[in-house]
Amino acid sequence: MPSVLTVEAARQIIIQHCQQIDRSTRKTETIPLSDSLGRVLAERVFLDRDYPAFDRSMRDGFAVRDTDVREVPAILRCVGEVAAGQTPDVHVEKGEAVRIMTGAAVPQGATAVIMVEDTENIGDQSVKVSKVVNRGANIALKGSERLASEPVCEPWWRISPAHLATLASTGKTHVKVCAKPSVAILATGNELVSVSERPGPFQIRNSNSFGLVGQVIRHGGEPYMLQTARDEREDLYSKILLGLEKDILLVSGGVSMGKYDLVEPVFADLGIQVHFDAVSMRPGKPVVFGTWKDRFVFGLPGNPVSTFVTCELFVSPLLEALQGLSFESLPLVRGVLEGHVSEKSGRTAFLPAKAALRGEELVISLCDWRGSSDLFGLVQANALAIVPRELAVLQNGDEIDALLFDTIEYGRESRF
């Protein structure tokens, strides 16, 4: 194994481990439909009746026989009214019309619906039709969208608002979903204090753990934040051992080459098999990936932007795979660079950037970012501009790829 892998080679190792995850062994749980948004469905769901379940009017207007309006204007006698949810108790005969509302059941005898704007009331009992319609116009026939027993939702789909509505239409009050992958988050370092404490002159608050909590939740995992480990082998050993109870363990900090960077030695003590420990990227070169039994272990760099980038690149695929989702593709977008890039590290760079749609052009502009410890530069970004290691300079207007981790911004111009 080379001492420093390319990003592509490191991700390929991750993907190989993702491919070995057996969906059938994943734990599931049944939860209320109202709590299922964003969860991954673990069952096939079928319609319990035809959809629509009856011939349904698609417009407000009048239910008629199409043969009565072959020539217009036509005067028809209004013999009743049907509202949505009401049982139609009238049969439309020749020369008759029934006032009908959107979503209402089409009465017997009617073969089309005339929109109300194509009619004119004549007194209380008659309606004048001014437009010819064909048989079936403005009617959704019973079963025309889906038939009873057809599958409408499949396993391993992430539940969206549209899925919620679809599941509700089948009468599902509870759904079976994949259990969230459990992720232990362990920050290391004597310099760290809790968020509630005021740091000393040479201390910092533990922000990395909270950033990782957010990333884990966003990718569908269940985070468990462990107490910060000191830069002492025994303390680190006990806390890493505790973290190995979860599906994934994320250790932040302690993976470089310093005297107090003890994560890899402790991994060795615990029998964790390390598959790579350095990747040719900026930021985030000292990143470790290992396995222990059926658990996945990461040693992430301590600088916050490095932590964020390496989690997006290497941890997120495993979180997706552990939920039965597709894991091979990154959410990449391609746009036009605004500004100038000079990248001389010789490594693939992932630079905080803003991806915005201006008219029909996606523009990617770099944020004011001052290095891997500059969390405040990252907070402005919704993407990471990718500068390949073989390119040192990119000019304004060059095409560039970006890894999207938030929604694209849109300009003020809109056609709606």
Question: What is the Cα–Cα distance from 301 to 307, expressed in whole angstroms?
Answer: 5
- Mind giving me the DSSP string for 59-73? SSEEEE-GGGGSSSS
In the chain, the domains with their CATH numbers are 7-26+180-321 (3.40.980.10), 28-49+151-178 (3.90.105.10), 56-140 (2.170.190.11), 332-410 (2.40.340.10)
* R_g of the chain, CA atoms, integer Å: 30
In this prediction, residue 372 carries a pLDDT of 87
| Token pair listed for 345 | 């590290």
Q: What is the pLDDT of residue 367?
A: 93
The pLDDT of residue 389 = 87
What is residue 2's predicted lDDT score, i.e. its pLDDT?
Answer: 47
pLDDT at 258: 55
**DSSP E strands, 359-398:** 361-366, 383-387, 393-394
Question: Greatest CA span in the chain, whole angstroms?
Answer: 95
- Tokens 């615990």, residue located: 270
φ, ψ at 96 (rounded to 5°): -115, 160
* Low-confidence residues in the chain, pLDDT < 50: 1-2
Return the pLDDT at 185: 98
193: left (phi over 0), alpha (psi -120 to 50) or beta: beta
| Pairing of β 96-100 and β 74-82 | parallel
CA–CA separation, 21 and 33 (whole Å) = 27
Give pLDDT, residue 50.
Answer: 96
pLDDT computed for residue 130 by the predictor: 95
Threshold 0.75, pTM exceeds? yes
Alpha carbons 237 and 242: distance in angstroms, whole number: 9
Q: Give the integer Cα–Cα distance in Å for 107 and 105.
A: 6
The helix/strand/coil state of 168 is helix
In the sheet with 248-252, reading across from the earlier edge strand, the strands are 222-225, 182-187, 248-252, 295-300, 288-292, 273-276
Residues shown for the chain: 416
Do residues 364 and 385 lie in contact, with contact meaning Cβ atoms separated by under 8 Å? yes
In one letter, which amino acid is 136? Answer: G
